[in-house]
Amino acid sequence: MSGMGSGGGKGQGIGRGGQGRGRMGGSGLGPDGECRCPNCGSTMPHQIGVPCNQQTCPKCGSKMTRP
């Protein structure tokens, strides 16, 4: 027994242009961009730190998504 072990780790890369891999295999879309309503197509600027799906459409009240 040598006392040496082997480990398998996962590294994280840095995305370009504000994009990269997020936690749990999701993708980080960066701080800029817009949120879009899947119901009526209305758009609004993305607010840093606030996910689009936590905002409601100002026209129809649906949850916004990130295109």
Q: Please state, in angstroms and rounded to a whole number, the distance separating the CA atoms of residues 56 and 18.
A: 24
pLDDT at 15: 46
Question: So where are the chain's domains?
Answer: 30-67
pTM (whole model) above 0.75: no
Name the 3-class secondary structure at 24. Answer: helix
The CB-side HSE value for 13 (13 A sphere, CA atoms) comes to: 8
* Dihedral Cα 54, 67, 34, 27, nearest 10 deg: 70
User: How does pLDDT run across 18-64, given as a tens digit for each residue?
Assistant: 544 445 455 556 667 999 999 999 999 999 999 999 999 999 999 99
Would the pLDDT of 67 be above 70?
Answer: yes
